[in-house]
Structure 1
Amino acid sequence: MAFNLTRRRFLQSASLAAVSVPLAKVVSAETGLVESPLEAKGSLKEETVPGGVCEMCFWRCQLVGKRREGRLIKLEGNPKSIDNGSQICARGNAGIQLLYDPDRLKYPLKNVGERGNPVWKRISWDEALTECTTRLKGVIDKYGPQGISVFPHGSTAKYPMHFFERTVGTHNVSEASFFQCRGIRDTAYLATIGKAPGEKVDMPNAKAILLVGSHIGENIHVSHVKAYIQGLQNGAKLIVVDPRYSASAAKADIWVKIKPGTDTAFLLAIMNYLVQNKKFDADFIDNYADGFDEFAAGIKDWTIEKAAAECDVPAAQIKEVAELLAANAPHVSVHPGRHVSWYGNDFQRQRSLACLTALLGAYYVKGGWVPGKGPKVGGISWAKHDHGVEHNLNYDEDEERRYPYSPPGTPTELIRDAALTGKPYPIKGCVIWGQNPIQTIPGQEKMKEVLKQMDFVMCVDVMPTDATMWADILLPEVSYLERYDHIQTGTQWDFSEKNQQYIAARMPLVEPMFERKDQVFITNAIATGLGHKEEIPVQTAEEMVEKNLAVAGLSLKQLREEGGIHIQEGKDPYGVPEDFEVRLYNEDIEDYGFPGVPTYIPVEQPPAGYARLLYGRVPVHTFNRSQNNAWLHQAMPSNPVWINDETAKKMGLKDGDTVGLINSEGFKSRTTTTVKVTPGIRKDAVYMAHGYGSTNPLLSVAVNSGVDDQSLITKIAVDPETGAHGMRNNFVKLIKDDKVLDIPA
């Protein structure tokens, strides 16, 4: 995977890239020390600034900053943290490079060209905000609030998202973290145990860990990885179910090289084996589960032999996994996963994971699923008006939900279809805030058509992503190192130690540069222009954080005095609550017309000559968000396509060959990448890291670097219960020297 940077080389490149002026050595005549060109002459003052909360990914490790003369020169983990501690990952370290990236958006811009091929003109904030409010108001006056769509992402998007959704009154809000990532997981577990699961499984105390397509070690969520490694060091057996030899598979006791799309069949066979052989936790099921008889009857046809044929794995291996889980129950971490939008049959897979956890009795016990009991803080938001469901696209004419287990917001495909057809109503305004819907949503050309037909498109972001090329007005936002907003709460990962909770608020480590503004300033200005001035809940982002902290009896001043993190005594997380219930068979799901017992739904298989395109994470990037970061780009500048070694030999390909890709619908990659030949992937699939191949020329580092896998994800597969997208339903061939190569069966 082209990740060949040693720690020494990384630190060397980091120190070089940390400054934007030549690093000529200057020896002070007074001190004899080598001075940094960042320092004022004669000054060697350095201060440690607490209060950082990272957002190079969503895991939000707690930070401290090292600052000289007002300039941030280094980021470190906050040693007071009971979460990530003093450790941060490569991306966390590289936050410095994001902060000082010369390609960052600096001023409000107006597109005087065409969408998708912009010509930018610098304008004032007054002009930009006036145009935003005037044109958004024009859409609302003509089409109603439902004429506005919102594509938000990240902590800064919550305040404006709630304004448009609750106060303005549009239901057309689609957040990528729900509809193209974890939303299916959350709603499937809600339908099974009444709670969204998060990722808080007690891996440090597990005797066995089951990962189904979960790439721990490639996501590099620091506290998460630490807990996982601690579990392995403590002797936990690891089972990894994945078509690819991932970083986790490399550490596995059992690697199940499963056929893509068949995971639910595998899980059903495991559960049926436990039931038929009475190797499940009968006491837990008697006390906390509902619908066991219906559940057992519903899965009884899934023998190990049937699943082995469907999943293309040995029957003996499926039995080995079942026996290993049973032998170590209830101390088993069945990980719920995170990025779970795969094939369009994903709700049933996530239900299966939740039900398997119950059969093992692995809820609220050491080593099992144990939600840490975190502290309560406030949540300042806009007043919610009753807008009814008349214009909610997720409701039909009888006010029945089209997708009954949809995550919060409206399924993306319903919004896009309404925008393109004008039915049941037109959608002519679009606010994109921190999301890159060009590279997060399947059907890239469809998304472009949606944006083309808008009367007005407004984008707010830190970097000029591909989506910002479609804006009429582009507004520069402050980065996570320059603002107040998010309050991170949680508990330590190893619950066998003393129980503690923490509260950490994001506070600026440096002052913003140029003309960048925060989400409260921008949203309040738009709210004022749209006639909602009296409903503004806070005047500044700092006030918002203060009010939220006050609910916990804290203040920013107190947090600063405590080193950026408040730690308090926690609560014992073990022990099943009296009202806890697992719905193995869910009658409500059945009433909606879907299987009430987890059910396997087959997916389309690759046509002759094609392989399924899989994608995932790499340790040094957060999908597209970090692609322009010079330090991280140096570590992994491209995304090689993995192909099975035997297949590659038949195709005449060797490691490092340059190739493009073409999918079964005829869409070609604009750029090329290299081949990674490996036995660590199935013959019916290829794999790439997601987020490469940016087209925006303002990204001087990322533009045209690697292949944009999303441009090849053109099949629209929608999960029937949730309305969320399947993201791995496309099939591809490789192109070498302008020749399209069939991939042998």
Structure 2
Amino acid sequence: MAFSRRNFLKYAAMSAGGTLIADTPFLSARARAEAEGGNVRYVPTSCEMCFWKCGAIAKVEKNKQGEDVVVKLEGNPLHPQSMGKLCARGQAGIGQLYDENRLKRPMIRTGERGDGQYKEVSWEEAFNYTADKLKAVIEKYGPESIAMLSHGSPGDYFTNLLKALGSGNIAFSSFAQCKGIRDAAWELTFGHKPGSSCERVDLKNSKVIVLLGTHLGENMHNSQTQEFAEAVGHGAKIICVDPRYSTAASKASLWLPIKPGTDTALLLTWMNIIISEELYDKAYVEQYTVGFEQLKESVQQYTPEWCAKETDLPEADIVAAARDLGRYAPNVVIHPGRHVAWYGNDAQRSRATAILNAILGTWGRPGGMWLPAKGKFASFNDGYPKYSDPAKDPVIKGDYPFAGGEGLTQVVRDTTITGQPYPIKAWFICGTDAMKALPDQRQTLKAIANLDLMIAVDILPSETAMMADVILPECTYLERHDGLFKVEVREAGVGLRQPAVEPMYDTKPAWWIASELCKKMGLADFAVKDSWEARMRRQATAWGIDYDKLADTGYVSLPDSAFPYITADNQPEFKTDSEKIELFSQKLEEHNFDPVPKYEPTDEPEKGMYRLLYGRSPVHTFSRTINDQWLWELHKENQVWLNKKEAESLGVKDRQYVRLENQDKVVSDPIQVKVTERIRRDCVYMVHGFGHNAPRLSRAHKSGADDQQLITRYKVDPITGGTGMRVNFVKIIKEA
């Protein structure tokens, strides 16, 4: 393969510095290939090394055997989510494509669940086995006994299969374990989520940006990171609220090393200062909000003096930050965050973030939150029949009134364990490693043990996939069609995913796998009529898009769809009951929740224990990319950050290996210590996704330690059902 580690590191470094450009200006794939001549193709597509769906361009050449080989990936300059650049992960999609550890053929388990014993079979045998087992489960327990846990595009296709079977028990970890809490809170306030795939934060035009535990530069959400760098470049004030001195904090004019669990106290105090000093946007509040007087009365109790004691922050810094927000409003933004499942009262913290943005007048203002694009997409289902209503109500929302349609993965798991209100006996696991995504792995193992059937659809032999009864190997995003993807940034547009090369080994696209299972289950009307590309063409026609142009450029915008700011002729629409921003929520009050957020303290660590915090690596996506040969070279194992004074008191040296033991006596694999002054004394921090217990992942196996193994406790947000996972404490065991 004409792609060396040296070249990858060079491209990654150039991209991080923002200097990576195409060798030839990109007008279209066809024109660029013609300009270069020879045996080369350029294929616009959408990256899936994370879920930002950046526009990417694959350069494909012929090797000596005449086979197509992807030799380079770069950002599509026409696509607004990449703007011509890819992060290190995006460029390393080649490493995923050519990973020798990939799942290569369908497999059926031959040994005990979890012992890794499988036989390779044909697709026909795998489908017959799966269909027979599914029919047996349905006959005995009903179709609602089949559930799916998913993350990413494969789940879209299997959602169709489960709904056609008569089950609504479909859950994506992106809700309960990530951003669903935030979305529900903003919908209660504005009637809108703060964004779909991308948050609508107008960073490049902002004068003050507040980040609460939001690790820009480490989560590497491409276009947002580029805009953040632009904001820093033009002198925007960055206020970083984080117990750890993150990459973003290193760019801040003010770092507030807050005591973990007290962010809501800070937000409510800022509201009190801004209201009492009349720094809020009075005209905006009067025109667009309801409930201001109730808010004003409620936040009066949160004084700067009280907040300083509660948050362990200097009172002067608390006041100065609030005044900066008021001084530069409305051209400011308090970032809504993404992974917000922290302490179990997270919806109210997200509500507080939304309300603070509202009284500063940021929604629909330059430097704040741009308004949703106005592009309209025609409905399209390609002639599928209407799904029948499930005979039994899905369990996926539990007893949480504002749980989203994406479902609660832990509720599916709990139902699988208890069998209440009815049994769940079969799982589809699609594109997610449940052992790395769900809190309390002990409960996940207990649920899996209760299953009659577990089906894994994945690219790699993850720990979860290797417990399945049947494994259906999906091809990578560089080998398949997906989409069409709605791109909703300042403007609306459409992207697509199309194959750069044919699927390797005996792997198949998820759409094909799900479609063939539909046929095997007697649901041919729900199967894809011909090919996914043909379906994409029909969808493009319904949307009024030239598919050939889209395939040649990778992105097309919808004309006249960008109206990002409020003007006399472009007024915001709030999809709330009052049709205004609801500072006081009648809906919450009706469900016996606080209509205005209130501060609730969290538990403190015992002496000798530290709160366990976790986060992201700029070159990895959760646990998905640790085995990627190029990214593994850049970041092979995680470390545990420990405050320097705590390290001295414990007699622990920098780069020494230790183990972590949590409050439930669960002990981690060895992990290297990073002794630093960049973290508070009462907490430790580690990057999520390492410590794989999957022997077939030759690089990821036992590299670093698994933070999820230590997250044996979680607190459930009563409003949304999200799982707050920063409620675990660990101590350091020096003998590793």
TM superposition score normalised by structure 1: 0.89
Q: Which of 510, 517, 522 is equivalent to 2:501?
A: 510
SS at match of 2:718: coil
Is this contact kept in 2: 1:483–1:506, CA < 8 A? yes
- Within 5 A, what are the aligned runs for 1:189-588? 189-198=186-195, 199-373=199-373, 375-377=375-377, 380=381, 383-387=385-389, 390-393=392-395, 402-490=399-487, 501-536=492-527, 538-561=529-552, 563-570=553-560, 571-575=562-566, 577-580=571-574, 581-588=580-587
1:566 maps to a residue whose letter is V
Asked if the contact 1:172/1:392 (under 8 Å) is kept, the reply is: yes
Partner residue, 2:608: 609
**SS of 1:569 mapped into structure 2:** coil
Retained in 2: the 8 A contact 1:374–1:491? no
Whole-Å Cα distance in 2 between the matches of residues 374 and 512 of structure 1? 37
1:29 is aligned to none
Partner of 2:76: 78
Q: Deviations over 1:290-340 (max 9, x none)?
A: 111112222221111122111111111110110010000000022111111
Q: Distance in 1 between matches of 2:550 and 2:324?
A: 46
Distance in 2 of aligned mates of 1:483 and 1:691: 26
1:13 touches 1:631 (CA, 8 Å); kept in 2? no
Shift of 1:134: 1.1
* Alpha-carbon spacing, 1:735–1:384, altered in 2? closer, same or farther (3 Å): farther
Q: Deviations over 1:631-673 (max 9, x none)?
A: 111111010100101111111111100111110101111x212
Residue-by-residue CA offset, 1:159-216 (whole Å, 9 max, x unaligned):
212331x322223222011111110011110011000112111111111111111100
Q: Which amino acid aligns with 2:479?
A: E
Q: Which amino acid in structure 1 is aligned with residue 658 of structure 2? A: V
The answer on whether the counterparts of 2:371 and 2:563 sit within 8 Å (CA) in structure 1 is no
Distance 1:480 1:394 in 2: 29
Report how many residues are paired.
Answer: 692
For residues 374 and 519 of structure 1, what CA distance do their matches in structure 2 show? 31
CA contact (8 A) 2:280 2:326 kept: yes
Partner of 1:30: none
Matches within 5 A, 1:169-208: 169-198=166-195, 199-208=199-208
Separation in structure 2 between the aligned mates of residue 64 and residue 53 of structure 1, nearest angstrom: 8
Task: Say whether 1:51 aligns with 2:47.
Answer: no
Kept in 2: contact 1:54–1:63 (CA 8 A)? yes
CA distance change for structure 1 residues 63 and 413 in 2, over 3 Å: closer, same or farther? closer
Q: Corresponding residue for 2:671? A: 673
Aligned AA for 2:167? T
The Cα offsets for residues 341-394 of structure 1, whole Å up to 9 and x where unpaired, read as 111111001101110001101110111111451644455486553526843326
Partner SS state of residue 284, structure 2: helix
Per-residue CA deviations over 1:493-518 (Å, capped at 9, x if unaligned) read 6xxxxxx5542211111111111111
d(CA) in 1 for partners of 2:312 and 2:518? 56
CA contact (8 A) 2:101 2:697 kept: yes
Contact 1:266/1:307 (<8 A) preserved: yes
Higher deviation after alignment, 344-353 or 572-581: 572-581
**1:231: Cα distance to partner?**
1.4
Amino acid at match of 2:83: G
Aligned equivalent of 2:153, options 134, 152, 155: 155
- Equivalent residues of 1:218, 1:617 under 8 A apart: yes
Q: Is the 8 Å Cα contact of residues 520 and 539 (structure 1) preserved in structure 2?
A: no
Tell which deviates more after alignment, 514-523 or 46-55: 46-55
1:591 and 2:590 matched: yes
Mark the CA change 1:394 to 1:512 in structure 2 (over 3 Å): closer, same or farther. closer
Secondary structure class of the residue paired with 1:628: coil
Give the match for residue 27 of structure 1.
Answer: none
Q: Which amino acid aligns with 2:461?
A: P
1:710 is aligned to 708
Answer whether contact 2:107 2:470 (CA < 8 A) is retained. Answer: yes
- What CA distance in whole angstroms lies between the structure 1 residues aligned with 2:305 and 2:380? 51
Residues 360/338 of structure 1: CA separation in 2 closer, same or farther (3 Å cut): same
| Conservation of the 8 A alpha-carbon contact between 2:103 and 2:473 | yes
In the alignment, what sits opposite 2:640? 641
Deviation per residue, 1:497-554 (Å, 9 max, x gap): xxx5542211111111111111221111211222211233543221332233223212
* 1:60 equivalent in alignment to 2:53: yes
Change (3 A) 1:567 1:46: farther
Measured after TM superposition, the shift of residue 489 of structure 1 is: 3.9
- Counterpart CA distance in 1 for 2:556 and 2:603 is 51
Corresponding residue number in structure 1 for 2:626: 627
Give RMSD over aligned pairs: 2.2
- CA, structure 1 residues 577+12, in 2 after alignment: closer, same or farther (shift >3 Å)? closer
Identical columns (%): 39
Query: C-alpha distance in 1, partners of 2:8/2:355?
Result: 46
Amino acid at match of 1:331: N
**Which residue matches 1:21?**
none
Q: Distance in 2 between matches of 1:54 and 1:409?
A: 22
Q: What code does the residue aligned with 2:349 have? A: R
Change (3 A) 1:388 1:427: closer
Query: What residue ranges of structure 2 are gaps of 5+ in the alignment?
Result: 14-35, 63-67, 575-579
The AA in structure 1 aligned to 2:677 is P
Instruction: Go from structure 1 to structure 2 and tell me whether the alpha carbon gap of 1:240 and 1:205 turns closer, same or farther (over 3 Å shift).
Output: same
Q: 2:611, 2:684 within 8 Å by CA — same for their partners in 1?
A: yes
CA distance in 2, matches of 1:485, 1:713: 34
Aligned CA distance change for structure 1 residues 484 and 305 (closer, same or farther; 3 Å): same
* Regions of 4+ moved over 4 Å: 6-9, 376-379, 381-384
Instruction: Report 1:117-136 matches (<5 A).
Output: 117-136=115-134
| Shift in alpha-carbon separation, 1:9–1:137, aligned structure 2, 3 A | closer
CA distance in 1, matches of 2:624, 2:601: 33
Larger deviation, residues 608-617 vs 410-419:
410-419
Aligned to 2:721: 723
1:274–1:545: structure 2 CA closer, same or farther, 3 Å change rule?
same
Q: CA deviation at 1:403?
A: 0.5
- Paired with 2:628 and 2:371, the residues of 1 have a C-alpha distance of 34
- For residue 486 of structure 1, give the secondary structure of its aligned residue in structure 2: strand
Distance in 2 separating the partners of 1:598 and 1:540: 50
Q: Mean alpha-carbon deviation: is it higher for 636-645 or for 591-600?
A: 591-600
291-300 or 423-432, which deviates more: 291-300
Which sections of structure 1, spanning at least 5 residues, go unmatched? Answer: 1-5, 15-42, 396-400, 494-499, 739-745
The answer to whether the 8 Å contact 1:82/1:502 transfers is: no
Matching residue's letter, 2:278: K
Counterparts in 2 of 1:21-40, with a 5 A limit? none
Whether the 8 Å contact between 2:146 and 2:169 is mirrored in structure 1 is: yes
TM-score scaled by structure 2? Answer: 0.91
Partners of 1:597 and 1:149 in 2: CA distance: 36
CA distance in 2, matches of 1:309, 1:386: 56
Tell me, in whole angstroms, the C-alpha distance in 2 between the residues paired with 1:46 and 1:269. 63
Equivalent residue of 1:481, what SS? helix
2-structure distance, mates of 1:227, 1:416: 39
Secondary structure of the structure 1 residue equivalent to 2:272:
helix
Report what 2:16 is aligned to: none
